[in-house]
Structure 1
Amino acid sequence: SSQLWVRPIITCAINFQIPTLVSPVFQLGRCRSVKEFEKLNRIGEGTYGIVYRARDTQTDEIVALKKVRMDKEKDGIPISSLREITLLLRLRHPNIVELKEVVVGNHLESIFLVMGYCEQDLASLLENMPTPFSEAQVKCIMLQVLRGLQYLHRNFIIHRDLKVSNLLMTDKGCVKTADFGLARAYGVPVKPMTPKVVTLWYRAPELLLGTTTQTTSIDMWAVGCILAELLAHKPLLPGTSEIHQIDLIVQLLGTPSENIWPGFSKLPLAGQYSLRKQPYNNLKHKFPWLSEAGLRLLNFLFMYDPKKRATAGDCLESSYFKEKPLPCEPELMPTFPHHRNKRAAPAVMEGQSKRCKP
């Protein structure tokens, strides 16, 4: 049966990639059948699969059921899904979405990830909430994102696709980072990786200029974009193309140079762009009401030189989170109508939101 087939395949794949991280769910017994879950409604559809809200009929728990997309696969489970499974199996943190188990359907290509369910995603909230998040609420959200990210980076994992639509929130105000389809484990020395990662609006300048050396700093640039978006109530750098994205960054932060970014001129695509001459950093003009500590944090996250960019640990120690208005407690975050829970909710294609350009 498919239950018997999928378990050893996944186990072998995980053993091959990360031998010490095999979950007992794949070592003991068979994978459960998806028939043990009642699908309530479809809540999203992304590059790597359709996501349903579902009820576990054995426990009555509401979960997110993510069907692994197999449309173009002839040789088994997509590598993106194997990477997501292997990474999520090793991750257990309050601010990281939980992979509970893998279940299967009647056919070899029917594989589902059972994830912890969160009532909201931040992209939908930002588009539908009647009033923007307060600064205290923004700080509460960002502290949780940073704690989850610090945990990831300490475990040598780069997310590589941080954006507001990949941040989920429960009705108890707990924020969880989700969608690990592009995430990678890294080591020393750092191996080359493709620069075509991270949604355009959140993509670091070194990626735009073709670097193949990726570190946790690319996640931290995205964190700066998310923080600025939450504070400004709109995306900070909504580029329509890679060259437009670079131009928006230069308009905001000034023209990069070897003085502030050693190695800049040697990046693969640096010679292909004619950057405007803009000597000023305009973050203070963009956020005239933000405190000095807040501006310092943003500037630290938006350092051109990836080696000088803030780490998640640096951010968590920032005085910005220790000054008034202080971060509110997660349980005091406002609750919202469950847009994702409507049985007739239309599928939302990842990347089609106004805030999630490819």
Structure 2
Amino acid sequence: MEKYMLIKKVGEGTFGSVCSAINKQTGEVVAIKQMKNKRYHSWEECINLTEVQSLIKMSKHPNIVKLREVIREHDILYLVFEYMECNLYELIRKRGRRVFSEDEVRNWCFQVFQALAYMHQCGYFHRDLKPANLLVSNNVIKLADFGSARKINSGQPFTQNITTPWYRAPEVMLKSPTYTSAIDMWAMGAIMAELFTLRPLFPGLNGADQMYKICSVIGTPTDNSWPHGIRLARGMNYQFPYLPGVHMSIVMPSVSDDATSLIRSLCSWDPFKRPTAAQVLQHPFFHKCYYVIPPSPRTTPAAYCQQNTNTNKNTAVIGIQAGIC
């Protein structure tokens, strides 16, 4: 950490705090995430973290935040990232009543769906999509904060305590022991709607209120529309409130039919009825967009470990360099 000069704290999360810093050797501004609530006594612990593994594998994608270095110093873990100017939550909060144009929403969301399509193709899902985890600089948006990311085919029961409640898919709220990358698609449906209205689509005060908010917009699920969800609810002794729902055009007036139809499909009760990120990229809403061919998942940055033996035996660095794993 000697080569970095910390500037100020820019964020605080469940897994760590983030500060902006300057690389004293190059003058580059970076963001440094200090992991908290755990001591890291070996390199194996560091490099085996899913957050580190996933970022190393996907670091070449233009819409995924780049991991520069992994540093373990005095058993504290630091992740060094490229610096981005702000996040989507901050942009929404600063807008006041001036809604974003449809072209702005289209541009941002297309970039995010490209990142998600690549991430899911690489075998991971994010599990904590929200405006604060989408970083923006000069109209480029990047997916960030992979602390909750997991391998899709890990075969293990997944925790229900993930994602901010406003963006949490209903199967997670109903404590399904397994779920898929479709939870990322639900979150993106809610985020898209929020970009159009500058208000959360499902702003629940608690779990019950959250489900009520969802039902009030998309209507109560039935045995035909989502049989698995009905079984999950019965297993919890939960009764859905009966609400007919409303058309998305009522929630988002002056928004195109293509946009509202996409949001409605993303916010389907049944996760198997939600489009995949790759399918979303082909939706009519994005026909004006230019698709950027992502790097092959087989060609990923390689990690190298360099032990700092000159100054401090308690300090070591993993750098990220181009290569093939």
Question: Into which bin does the TM-score normalised by the smaller protein fall?
Answer: 0.7 to 0.9
Q: Check conservation: 1:48, 1:81, Cα contact below 8 A.
A: no
Which of 221, 235, 241 matches 1:256? 221
Q: Alpha-carbon deviations, 1:72-94, whole Å to 9, x = none?
A: 54877988992211211111211
Q: Check conservation: 2:63, 2:111, Cα contact below 8 A.
A: yes
**Whole-angstrom distance in 2 between the partners of 1:265 and 1:218:** 18
Which of 62, 86, 97 matches 2:53? 86
Q: Check conservation: 2:114, 2:277, Cα contact below 8 A.
A: yes
Q: Secondary structure at the match of 1:124?
A: helix
Q: Check conservation: 2:63, 2:112, Cα contact below 8 A.
A: yes
Q: Secondary structure at the match of 2:12?
A: strand
Q: Check conservation: 1:103, 1:113, Cα contact below 8 A.
A: yes
Say yes or no: does 1:55 pair with 2:22.
yes
Q: Secondary structure at the match of 1:35?
A: coil
1:144-293 matched pairs, under 5 angstroms: 144-170=111-137, 172-187=138-153, 190-267=155-232, 271-293=236-258
Q: Check conservation: 1:48, 1:80, Cα contact below 8 A.
A: no
Q: Check conservation: 1:201, 1:245, Cα contact below 8 A.
A: yes
Q: Taking structure 1 as reference, are residues 319 and 266 closer, same or farther at Cα in structure 2, changes over 3 Å only?
A: same
Say yes or no: does 1:102 pair with 2:70.
yes
Which of 21, 32, 35 matches 1:68? 35
Say yes or no: does 1:320 pair with 2:288.
no
* Structure with more of its chain in strand, by fraction: 2
Q: Which moved more, 1:81-90 or 1:216-225?
A: 81-90
Q: Which residue of 2 aligns with 1:29?
A: none
Q: Secondary structure at the match of 2:210?
A: helix
1:293-304 matched pairs, under 5 angstroms: 293-304=258-269
1:95 Cα deviation from its structure 2 partner: 0.5
RMSD: 2.3
Q: Secondary structure at the match of 1:111?
A: strand
Q: Taking structure 1 as reference, are residues 271 and 50 closer, same or farther at Cα in structure 2, changes over 3 Å only?
A: closer
**Whole-angstrom distance in 2 between the partners of 1:258 and 1:297:** 23
Q: Secondary structure at the match of 2:258?
A: helix
Q: Secondary structure at the match of 1:180?
A: coil
Q: Alpha-carbon deviations, 1:236-281, whole Å to 9, x = none?
A: 1111111111110011111101101132222166552222222344
In the alignment of these two chains, the number of paired residues is: 288
Q: Alpha-carbon deviations, 1:265-311, whole Å to 9, x = none?
A: 22166552222222344323212322221221111101111111111
Q: Taking structure 1 as reference, are residues 223 and 254 closer, same or farther at Cα in structure 2, changes over 3 Å only?
A: same
Partner letter of residue 264 of structure 2?
N
**Whole-angstrom distance in 1 between the partners of 2:21 and 2:121:** 32
**Whole-angstrom distance in 2 between the partners of 1:80 and 1:298:** 37
Say yes or no: does 1:123 pair with 2:100.
no
Partner letter of residue 176 of structure 1?
K
**Whole-angstrom distance in 2 between the partners of 1:246 and 1:76:** 43
Identity of aligned residues (%): 36
Q: Secondary structure at the match of 2:20?
A: strand
* Structure with more of its chain in helix, by fraction: 1
Q: Secondary structure at the match of 2:227?
A: coil
**Whole-angstrom distance in 2 between the partners of 1:239 and 1:285:** 19
Q: Taking structure 1 as reference, are residues 153 and 116 closer, same or farther at Cα in structure 2, changes over 3 Å only?
A: same
1:327 Cα deviation from its structure 2 partner: 6.1
Q: Which residue of 2 aligns with 1:136?
A: 103
- State TM-score, norm by structure 2: 0.82
**Whole-angstrom distance in 2 between the partners of 1:292 and 1:101:** 44
Q: Taking structure 1 as reference, are residues 120 and 328 closer, same or farther at Cα in structure 2, changes over 3 Å only?
A: farther
Q: Taking structure 1 as reference, are residues 311 and 328 closer, same or farther at Cα in structure 2, changes over 3 Å only?
A: closer
Q: Check conservation: 2:174, 2:236, Cα contact below 8 A.
A: no
Q: Taking structure 1 as reference, are residues 79 and 284 closer, same or farther at Cα in structure 2, changes over 3 Å only?
A: farther
Partner letter of residue 228 of structure 1?
A
Q: Secondary structure at the match of 2:176?
A: coil
1:132 Cα deviation from its structure 2 partner: 3.1
Q: Check conservation: 1:42, 1:52, Cα contact below 8 A.
A: yes
Q: Check conservation: 2:129, 2:163, Cα contact below 8 A.
A: yes
Unpaired runs of 5+ residues, structure 2, are: 292-325
Q: Alpha-carbon deviations, 1:169-189, whole Å to 9, x = none?
A: 11x21100100110001227x
